[in-house]
Amino acid sequence: MNRRFNRGRALRVAVCLLLLAALSSCMELNMGLTVNADDTVDGQLLLTARKSVLTSRNKNVPAAFAELRQNIPALPPGEEATYEDSQLFGTQISYHRAPLAGFDSESVKLVRDGDFYRFTLPLDPKRYGGKIAQQNPQQQQAFLKLMSFEISVTFPGRVIDTNGTVNGRSVTWKVDSNKDKPAELRAVAEAPPRPSGSPVAAVDSGGFPWLLVGGGVLLVLLLAAVGVLLLRRRRPTAPAAAAPAGPAPTVPGPTAGSPG
């Protein structure tokens, strides 16, 4: 009885793994990002699957892709559009001067840490194959192994640490399908100094933001001076005081020798 049960379980696992291979071996994640000196990002992200795989699951290709995408961790938000060619179907996300804060996602982490930019793309099996893992948690590792990744990140400063291939200020990674994956794709690069007058630069340097405080005090004094001038203009002017009365005119008396 136990042998039959084990054989049945092994057969189900084998079928699931074959199905998983058909689903994930054609999923590709391609991304090219450029980090700007003002802490914004330009670039594109492309997530695709083969139409032959999608149509085998559902005649409605967009619906089949949407179902398959649920196994991928959340991607950095951007301007999203449908991508399609003769073999692939998927989604393309474009970034133009996108704030760096939007790249702290489940799938991609690109952050500024003081004088450095840090890029990380975790390849943790627990993050991939989530929907399939509900049926068999053992398939998460297989799902990630059968995916392919092609990533490129260009920094404004010098690259000082990475497990990718460096070409100038750019780092690239190419991870093929059906290959063992590293724990993460990572890179650290120098970040240009922020303008000395910016409040963020003062906070980052750990010094007291004298320029910010001085500007606030100056603004308060200016507003107070304007208020005093307005009050003076609205105050009514006092009427002019009457001129003091002069001495009374003298009446001439009779001259000497005039007849009385």
pLDDT of residue 256 exceeding 60? no
pLDDT of residue 185: 97
For the segment 90-127, what is each residue's pLDDT rounded down to a tens digit?
999 999 999 999 999 999 999 999 999 999 999 988 88
- pTM score > 0.85 for this model? no
pLDDT of residue 123: 93
Opening angle at CA 26, ends 21 and 31, nearest 5? 130
Q: Among 52-56, 68-72, 225-229, which range has the highest average pLDDT?
A: 68-72
Question: How long a stretch of residues is the chain?
Answer: 260
Q: For residue 84, give the DSSP letter.
A: E
pLDDT of residue 242 exceeding 90? no
For the segment 161-190, what is each residue's pLDDT rounded down to a tens digit?
999 999 999 999 999 988 889 999 999 999
What's the CA dihedral at 182, 184, 189, 193 to 10 degrees?
180
pLDDT of residue 131 exceeding 90? no
